[in-house]
Structure 1
Amino acid sequence: MFHRIRRRRAAEPSELERHSHEAYMRVAGQTPPEVERMRVAQQPAEPAQMADDFLPPELRVPSHDQLDGRMMPWPWPIVLDGEVVACAGCGAYRDWLILSTRDQIWLRCRAGHQQHEARLDTAWYNRHAGPADAHHETFEDCLRHLGH
């Protein structure tokens, strides 16, 4: 018996629902007059001139796709999978330059040996790198800047 009442109530809206819907439909497309007055008051009489908000070219920072790579000093030993990474050429295990280029990570020791480190990725580099303090035209300029 109750299921018949529930079905009937679900099929037809109640009196209160009908009145609410009708009231909503009467005011649906209307805007209160206070809002219209506020819109008119806020509109400037004359459009403001557009200002060039771009930085001058000498202060702009290049985006990642405009750079050939990034590098940072890493004075500490690098431990991956429980072992200390050592240079394949001289055996150095600290004072690295970490280079990130073309989605690869390269390690460079103080002696100038470079080796690809496949266990590190660009996400690791981004987590550990600080903000760039300079941009250089050549790789050698960057090495000089970092003291290598």
Structure 2
Amino acid sequence: MQDETRENVKVFQRIRRRRGAEISEMRQLHETMRARLDGLVPSEVQGIRVVMQADEPVPVMDDFLPPELRVPSHDQLDGRMMPWPWPIVLDGEMVECAACGAYRDWLVLSTRGQIWLRCRAGHQQHEKRLDTAWYNRHAGPTDATHSTFEDCLRHLGH
């Protein structure tokens, strides 16, 4: 039994030595190949280097959209609005127009960090329980910009 155990230990020691030698040979081969590749430069890279070293100034191009296709940023707008045909329920109660009692078919206006609700009859009321974050979560993409408030109302059918 002891002879078998000794023989097994010898076999495993030979395997470990062989694996160690194989790993070190692979490392040496890898380092040799890497040293050969370090000096080589692909032709595409050489072409790019030649172009970059040219004395010609590179023209500066505006890669942004042309002005007629640009949408104004939030700080360039006086406000935004969206239709909201459903009732608005806040803190367990339905929001109603203070003047006429309408409870749905709102225009929600976001301006200067405040939210205003406008009913179909044209009454407006400041809604302190809504904020710009709520508006941003519920508003879809902008489909048009208008120069006047009345133009926007006509666009939205009010």
Q: Same fold (TM over 0.5)?
A: yes
Q: Could you tell me which amino acid in structure 1 is paired with residue 82 of structure 2? A: M
Counterpart residue number, 2:105:
95
Distance 2:64 2:135 in 1: 29
1:66 paired to 2:76: yes
Distance 1:136 1:111 in 2: 21
Q: Could you tell me which amino acid in structure 2 is paired with residue 121 of structure 1? A: D
Find the partner of 1:40 among 38, 46, 68: 46
Q: Determine which structure has the larger helix proportion and give its number.
A: 2
Tell me how far 1:56 sits from its aligned partner: 1.8
TM-score after normalising by structure 2: 0.68
Counterpart residue number, 2:121:
111
Tell me how far 1:41 sits from its aligned partner: 4.7
Aligned residue pair count: 117
Tell me: CA distance 1:44–1:142, structure 2 relative to 1, closer, same or farther (3 Å).
farther
Alignment partner of 1:43: what SS? helix
Tell me how far 1:55 sits from its aligned partner: 1.8
Gap regions ≥5 residues in structure 2: 1-37
Tell me how far 1:52 sits from its aligned partner: 2.7
Tell me how far 1:75 sits from its aligned partner: 0.1
1:130 paired to 2:119: no
Counterpart residue number, 1:57:
67
Distance 1:44 1:114 in 2: 66
Identity, in percent, stands at: 77
